[in-house]
Chain A
Amino acid sequence: MRSFRSMIYPYIIWSFIMIIIPMLLIAAYAFTVKGNSVLAFRFTLENFRAFFADSVFLKVLKRSIYIAFVTTVLCILLGYPTAYIIANIAGEKNKFMMVLFITIPTWINMLVRTYAWLGILQDNGLVNTLLSMVGLPTLRLIHTDFAVILGMVYNFIPFMVLQIYTSLTKMDKSYLEAAQDLGANGIQSFLRITLPLSFPGIISGITLVFLPAVSSFFIPKLLGGGQYVLIGNVVENEFLIAGNWNFGSAISLIMAITIILFMWLAKKADKDPSGEGGV
């Protein structure tokens, strides 16, 4: 076994360069004053004070979490049945085809797919053209909560489906047979066996959906319009327009801490023996 241990060193070096150093840099920027270089380190909490002193940033953060939360819940509600159906479909080949259908859209660049929705939801886009063709009143779709959440769910749902699907296929089917032997009906055995056993899949699905959703800035910008400010847009603005990397880093750090907090809560729910801890 000992000989294998050395194989992890490249990974450690890699993660140090790609993960640890950038994180340290962000932290260094976040706690320093604008203008002085990182080398001339002067500690400050001013960037954090500025964030919490202005209600607008907290409002934006709240909205980002809300949108990400709704997206995640919808992904579970839509993704779970999908994964369940795929996992229970007969024949390996059929399963493979179904998984392929779920993943094919992710082969296309996310920008392009989001632009496609713009064309569909536009005031004179596909949906409204069809509606007016059959004489129905047109709908205001683009630049609404609906459009943003639709775009997010559409982009992130494959990650949820695949995670749940994997945990469902890993499940030992003999538990279900035992449950039936003991007289459980379909609903009972689903609620008491399948659902708890697939919980790890749901949790990692939440991680993979919630994280990109809470920090995404492109989807809200395009489908929600510029007035749809999420925390990712504020960070982008601080770095590119305002040129205040320190404040941008502080916001990133606050966001990272918020996310870690949420992930910790989700992990805790996972360990909950009843398996019923909500999301």
Chain B
Amino acid sequence: MKKIIALIVCAAMISVTTAGCGGTGENNETASNVVKVFNWGEMIGEDVIRNFEDEYDAKVIYETYDSNEMMYAKLQAGDKYDVLVPSDYMIERLLNENALMPLDKSLITNIDNLADEVKGLPYDPDLTYSVPYFYGSVGIVYNKNNVPKELIEEQGWDILKNTDYKGKIFMYDSERDSFMIALKALGYSMNTDNEDEIQQAYEWLLDLNNTMEPIYVMDEVIDSMANSVKDLAVVYSGDASYILAQNEDMGFCEPKQGTNIFCDSMVIPANSENPELAHKFIDYVLTYDASYDNTYTVGYTSPNKQVRDDISSEGGEYYEIESYIPRSGYEKDEVFHDNAVIREQLSNLWIKVKSSEE
């Protein structure tokens, strides 16, 4: 009897202690037909991996992460991959550390499929090291029944401080997105390193926190807004497309004060063990079928021009979904730059903002 209980307790404790480290088992296969891909969670079409494996007689070891920082931590810990899909600022950081391999364009013939909007981005203007995977913007999803379209277009980010919507706001629990909003609302660059501007942004967020009862969330925002839990939510455009497709009461607005345009791109780490197959994988993702599968499943905007135009035109899955094609060419929009000093400063300020109210 006691033994059984002891066994149960042990099983329970093991299950709890291992809960934190979701299955990312080591794999020592280094055969020439194996490619290790490290991508965002829930960021790939249902059949992309299987079709690639069939077509190239290859084996894909596929692992996922929840944030750029988590991916970076894994790389630091010494894990090796052949293809990564970091965001713009993380690519910049990896490039500064010489951690990426220049791509052999002759192996990526489908690069011509890319739309112009994803070319010439500041972190890698000539696509020497990276090939876009998805791109998007940060905006506000709003309930069209409770928030007039004219109002949100007129107020932009300032609507997050409109006391009519007190207690009805979701924001991202991210110092990067929150400070971007505050800096943009104040008319500054999101990449500022001016102490005074950062201080003003901090006070802007503090004021918002203490007057509007915002809730800071992560990916739960997607399901919550699809169920109309709040009236306003700061959301990435790709997630907004999913929400808008699910719930026709919801609208999407890219604020007039400008926003963050981001691009997640495929790169090959300098220590890749199979760069040849990694190039083939990148080339395959750029094909019409794989790109279509990706964007259809995930909802983020495809950098493949043909796919993007097809899926957002009449008869396509994202026809009349206003968030599907992010704004481009708007002078107040910016791409995020990595700055380690500012990053640390903002993340500590963000903790202060969040815990400022008793």
Q: Is B154 an interface residue (CB 8 A)?
A: no
Q: Is A127 an interface residue (CB 8 A)?
A: no
B9 CB contact (under 8 Å) in A92, A96, A162, A237: A162
CB–CB A111/B19 < 8 A: yes
CB–CB B8/A100 < 8 A: yes
Residues of A at the B interface (CB closer than 8 Å) are 54, 56, 59-60, 63, 92, 95-96, 99-100, 103, 106-107, 109-111, 118, 122-124, 143, 158, 162, 166, 212, 221-222, 225-227, 229, 233-234, 237-244
Q: Is B357 an interface residue (CB 8 A)?
A: yes
Q: Enumerate B289-322 residues with CB–CB distance to A below 8 Å.
A: none
Known contacts A162-B9, A241-B69, A225 near B347 by CB under 8 Å: no
Q: Enumerate B1-49 residues with CB–CB distance to A below 8 Å.
A: 1-2, 4-5, 8-9, 11-12, 15-16, 19
Q: Is B211 an interface residue (CB 8 A)?
A: no
What's the minimum C-beta distance from A131 to chain B, rounded to whole angstroms? 16
What's the minimum C-beta distance from A24 to chain B, rounded to whole angstroms? 18
CB–CB A226/B217 < 8 A: yes
User: Could you say which residues of chain B place their CB within 8 Å of the CB of A109?
Assistant: 15, 19
CB–CB B227/A242 < 8 A: no
Q: Enumerate B214-250 residues with CB–CB distance to A below 8 Å.
A: 214-218, 220, 224, 227-230
Q: Is B348 an interface residue (CB 8 A)?
A: yes
Q: Is B344 an interface residue (CB 8 A)?
A: yes
Known contacts A106-B16, A227-B209, A241-B69, A92 near B217 by CB under 8 Å: no
Q: Interface size of B by Cβ–Cβ distance < 8 Å?
A: 42
User: Could you say which residues of chain B place their CB within 8 Å of the CB of A99?
Assistant: 5, 8
B344 CB contact (under 8 Å) in A95, A166, A227, A244: A244
User: Could you say which residues of chain A place their CB within 8 Å of the CB of B9?
Assistant: 103, 162
Known contacts A111-B19, A143-B215, A162 near B5 by CB under 8 Å: yes
State in angstroms the CA–CA spacing of A2 and B229 once bound together: 67
CB–CB B351/A107 < 8 A: no
User: Could you say which residues of chain B place their CB within 8 Å of the CB of A222?
Assistant: 220
User: Could you say which residues of chain A place their CB within 8 Å of the CB of B228?
Assistant: 124
Query: A162-B5, A240-B70 are known contacts; what are 14 more A-B pairs with Cβ within 8 Å?
Result: A100-B8, A103-B9, A110-B16, A118-B220, A122-B229, A212-B16, A221-B173, A225-B173, A225-B217, A226-B215, A226-B217, A229-B354, A238-B347, A242-B348
What's the minimum C-beta distance from A41 to chain B, rounded to whole angstroms? 20
State in angstroms the CA–CA spacing of A242 and B347 once bound together: 6
CB–CB B217/A122 < 8 A: no
CB–CB B224/A122 < 8 A: yes
CB–CB B220/A123 < 8 A: no
Q: Is B119 an interface residue (CB 8 A)?
A: no
User: Could you say which residues of chain B place their CB within 8 Å of the CB of A124?
Assistant: 227-229
B15 CB contact (under 8 Å) in A59, A107, A237, A244: A107
Q: Could you name 16 residue pairs across A and B whose Cβ atoms are closer than 8 Å?
A: A56-B351, A92-B1, A95-B1, A96-B1, A99-B5, A118-B220, A122-B224, A123-B230, A212-B16, A226-B171, A226-B215, A226-B217, A226-B354, A229-B351, A237-B350, A237-B351
CB–CB B216/A225 < 8 A: yes
What's the minimum C-beta distance from A52 to chain B, rounded to whole angstroms? 15
Known contacts A99-B8, A162-B5, A241-B175, A226 near B216 by CB under 8 Å: yes
State in angstroms the CA–CA spacing of A244 and B229 once bound together: 36
User: Could you say which residues of chain A place their CB within 8 Å of the CB of B230?
Assistant: 123
In this complex, what residue of B is CB-closest to A241?
B347
CB–CB A242/B344 < 8 A: yes
State in angstroms the CA–CA spacing of A216 and B81 once bound together: 31
Q: Is B73 an interface residue (CB 8 A)?
A: yes
CB–CB A166/B5 < 8 A: yes
State in angstroms the CA–CA spacing of A156 and B340 once bound together: 38
CB–CB A59/B355 < 8 A: yes
State in angstroms the CA–CA spacing of A143 and B70 once bound together: 25
What's the minimum C-beta distance from A183 to chain B, rounded to whole angstroms? 33
Which 3 residue pairs spanning A and B have beta carbons closest together?
A226-B216, A226-B173, A106-B12
User: Could you say which residues of chain B place their CB within 8 Å of the CB of A118?
Assistant: 220
User: Could you say which residues of chain B place their CB within 8 Å of the CB of A158?
Assistant: 12
